[in-house]
Amino acid sequence: MLKDLLAGPNCTVTESKFLVDAVTGEEREVDVVAEYDDDGHIFVQSFEVTGRKKPADLTWAEQLIKKHENLPTAHLCLVPWGGAYNSVQKLVKANPRVSVVIPEIVEGSDGPEIKTLFADVVRLQPMEVVATVERPNGERGKAILEHDFVVCSADGTELGGAGELYGEILNSEASIEMVLRQAHDHPNREELKSFILGRDYSALGFYLRKDEPIVELQHILSIEVTGGVVFEQTPLEMEIRTFGEQRFAHGRTSLLGTNGLVVATLDDQSDVTKMRTQFGAIPEVFNP
C-alpha cells in the first residue's frame, strides 16, 4: 500500500506477484513487485518483507538473494520490520542489486510519535422520495416514489424499480463526498438531523409507469430524496515510521463493523499528503 502511494504514473505495483525463474521456468511468488516503464523498457523492483519482531538474520537475506538470482528482478529490496543484524547490512553493501530498508519508528520527546486522524461516518436514512413528472398531456406534477414502482423507457420497456433509480443518488460518489464534507464542516454537526439530495433526470429518458386508473407513462424530470442523518466520528491512532527518507503512518481500525488498514504518506511536519485505505478487499486511494 505504501509503495503504491509512492509510485509515479509509469509504475505499476502488484502485491503477491509471480515471477518466472529463467533457469527452471517455475513461478516464484514475490511479496511486492514494482514495474517501471521507461519508454517500453520494464525495470522490475522486487520487495521481500518480513513482519517478525526480531531482527532478520543472514540466512533469511541469503535465501532471498539466491531466490532472485534468476528472476527478472533488476533490484531487490529487503524490508525487515524488526530490523536486521549487521551481517545482513554487510551482505547487502557487497551486492549493488540489493538494498535493505527498515521501517524505523519515529521517536518524539515523549516516546514514539503518533498521528491521530478522525474518520467521519455518515449514515443516510431515506424517508421520502418525490419525483417531478410530466404526464402525457404535458401537465407536471409530483409523485411519491415507492421502492417497487416500475421505471420504463419511452416505449414502455421495463428498466427496473424506482429504488434503483434513487439509490444512485444516495450512493453516487458526488453525493457521498458532498454530504461528508458538509457534515464535517457543519458547526453543529452533532445536531445535523436531515438531508435533501436531488438529481435532474429530464434528459435521461426514464418514465414512471402508473397502472391506475389507466396505464400511463410519466416522464421523470427530477427526483428529490429527503431523510435523516446519523453522524459518527471515529479516532484512529497511527504509528509513524520512516521508509528510507519517506515518513509514513499506519494503523488498523473498524468502521461499520468492517476491519480495515490505513496507510498515509507524511511530509516533514507529519501532515498527511496521501492516504490509502483498505476495508475487506476494496482499496481506495485519495488525497486528503
Does 114 share its domain with 239? yes
Q: How far apart are CA 41 and CA 184, in angstroms?
A: 46
Does 11 share its domain with 74? yes
Q: Peptide bond before 283: cis, by omega within 30 degrees of 0?
A: no
| Residue 103 DSSP label | -
Does 182 share its domain with 225? yes
Domain span including residue 46: 2-102
Percentage of the residues of the chain whose pLDDT score is greater than 70 = 92
- Residue 36 maps to which CATH number? 3.40.1350.10
* Non-local CB neighbours of 1 within 8 Å, separated by 6+ positions: 261, 263, 276, 278, 283
Q: What is the pLDDT of residues 232-253, one digit of tens each?
A: 777 889 999 999 999 999 998 8
Contact 50, 79 (CB under 8 A): yes
- Pick the closest to residue 210 from 221, 223, 219, 200 (CA basis): 219
Q: What is the pLDDT of residues 73-104, one digit of tens each?
A: 999 999 999 999 999 999 999 999 999 999 99
Q: What is the pLDDT of residues 252-276, one digit of tens each?
A: 887 767 788 999 999 988 899 999 9
Does 187 share its domain with 223? yes
Does 88 share its domain with 177? no
Last-in-domain residue among 231, 248, 269:
231
Does 113 share its domain with 254? yes
Does 92 share its domain with 164? no
> Which three three-digit cell numbers place residue 241?
515510521
Q: Considering its fold, how many domains does the chain have in total?
A: 3
Does 261 share its domain with 206? no
Residues pairing with 218 in the sheet: 208
Does 201 share its domain with 142? yes
